[in-house]
């Protein structure tokens, strides 16, 4: 059987760093360098390598990810592997998942340990990502899997995967669902398919309009005794400080400090304001607690209920909704489908 054609798109990140004269790691390696470091890749697939950028993933923009999605759509290949930094991988992979609906596997991978360290994870992650992209089960279920993330021999759904630690090598986890598959020896071992009805429904509404530009989404992290001064500043500013929507990283099942409730209610009247669980994703409550800062009161006041999406992923979905020109009721409907 002929080997599948896998296209590698390199964006930068730790996986693509090399030391400068002082020993500091700088972005520098391109896609060809990454491929050259893993000769086994040629046994698994016919590899095409393309350097898109050489930046840390903290420097990527949402516009750049929309352009990357358009590029991926235009490729005539059997699978795509994106290499990038780990810092924003949980966001970029979910954005690609919202923008792409393809019959071919799209994999995002990265590295936690840079190439100058003992046992860097980049080469192994790249090989694993290409193995996943070339795997017959993955290719047969590519649309059902959506965009997936491969790190440390595990495969994760883009809607669930989180960077759960800043530095350790096993930094990634899908805390809600666990991995979809594992790599063992040279095999991909499937374990489960993700439930993606909400992503599919969102994608139908978002369509191509998601290419337009919109005002950015503010991320408001709620915490013990938060007074809400930043929310007040957004309300007072005639241009809302430039923001077009807001994500509220709420406590527990959907609660905020009582001091910030009034400001949040006002904000929800001015822009789409989505409540999302700061506890790491997972379904919110809807009708358990009473009182002024409870989920019942916030929902009655018009805050949009974010479902199980982590606030970082909710921010990506709201940004995409705003770019698509969706109004509040349509946005609430999309988030509602996430539980």
Residues that bind ligand ASP (CB under 6 A): 12-14, 56-58, 85-87, 110, 112
Q: In the bound complex, what is the minimum distance in angstroms from residue 172's beta carbon to ligand ASP?
A: 10
Which residue spans within 161-240 are E strands per DSSP?
162-163, 172-173, 181-184, 187-190, 217-221
The residue (of 151 and 251) whose beta carbon lies closer to ligand ASP is 151
The span from the CA of 279 to the CA of 191, in Å, is 26
CB 84 within 8 A of CB 11: yes
E strands along the chain, which residues?
5-10, 17-19, 25-27, 46-51, 79-83, 106-109, 148-151, 154-157, 162-163, 172-173, 181-184, 187-190, 217-221, 245-250, 273-277, 304-305
CB of 37 to ligand ASP, least distance (A): 16
Q: Among residues 31 and 112, whose Cβ is nearest to ligand ASP?
A: 112
Question: Which residue's Cβ lies closest to ligand ASP?
Answer: 85
Q: Which is nearer to ligand ASP, 74 or 167 (CB)?
A: 167
106-109 vs 148-151, strand pairing mode:
parallel
Q: Which is nearer to ligand ASP, 43 or 58 (CB)?
A: 58
What span, in angstroms and rounded, lies between the C-alpha atoms of 268 and 235? 10
Q: Return d(Cα 67, Cα 188) in angstroms, integer.
A: 30
Residue 114 vs 336, nearer CB to ligand ASP: 114
**Is the Cβ of residue 169 or residue 296 nearer to ligand ASP in the bound state?**
169
Instruction: Provide, rounded to whole angstroms, the least separation between the CB of residue 64 and ligand ASP.
Output: 13
Nearer to ligand ASP, 27 or 72 (CB): 27
Residues composing the chain: 339
Q: What does DSSP say about strands 162-163 and 172-173: parallel, antiparallel, or unpaired?
A: antiparallel
Cβ proximity of 224 and 257 under 8 Å: yes
CA 329 → CA 43, 55, 293, distances in Å?
51, 37, 22
């Amino acid at each position: 059987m002929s080997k599948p054609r896998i296209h590698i798109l390199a964006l930068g990140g730790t996986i693509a760093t090399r030391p400068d004269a002082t020993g500091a790691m700088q972005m520098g390696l391109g896609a060809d360098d990454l491929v050259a470091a893993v000769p086994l890749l040629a046994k698994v697939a016919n590899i095409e390598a393309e350097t898109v950028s050489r930046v840390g993933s903290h420097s990527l923009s949402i516009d750049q990810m929309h352009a990357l999605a358009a590029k991926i759509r235009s490729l005539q290949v059997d699978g795509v592997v994106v290499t990038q930094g780990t810092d924003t991988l949980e966001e970029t992979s979910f954005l690609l998942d919202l923008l792409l609906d393809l019959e071919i596997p799209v994999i995002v991978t990265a590295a936690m340990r840079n190439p100058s360290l003992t046992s860097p994870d980049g080469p192994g992650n790249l090989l694993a990502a290409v193995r996943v992209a070339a795997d017959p089960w993955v290719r047969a279920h590519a649309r059902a899997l959506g965009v997936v993330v491969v790190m440390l021999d595990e495969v994760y759904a883009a809607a669930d995967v989180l960077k759960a630690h800043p530095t350790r090598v096993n930094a990634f986890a899908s805390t809600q669902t666990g991995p979809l598959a594992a790599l063992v020896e040279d095999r991909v071992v499937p374990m489960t398919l993700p439930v993606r009805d909400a992503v599919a429904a969102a994608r139908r509404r978002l369509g191509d309009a998601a290419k337009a530009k919109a005002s950015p989404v503010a991320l408001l992290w709620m915490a013990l005794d938060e007074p809400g001064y930043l929310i007040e500043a957004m309300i007072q500013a005639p241009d809302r400080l430039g923001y077009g929507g807001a994500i509220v990283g709420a406590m527990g099942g959907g609660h905020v400090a009582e001091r910030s409730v009034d400001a949040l209610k006002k904000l929800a009247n001015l822009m789409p304001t989505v409540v999302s669980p700061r506890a790491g994703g997972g379904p919110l409550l809807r009708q358990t607690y009473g009182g002024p800062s409870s989920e019942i009161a916030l929902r009655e006041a018009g805050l949009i209920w974010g479902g199980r999406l982590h606030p970082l992923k909710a921010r990506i979905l709201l940004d995409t909704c705003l770019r698509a020109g969706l109004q509040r009721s349509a946005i609430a409907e999309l988030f509602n489908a996430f539980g």
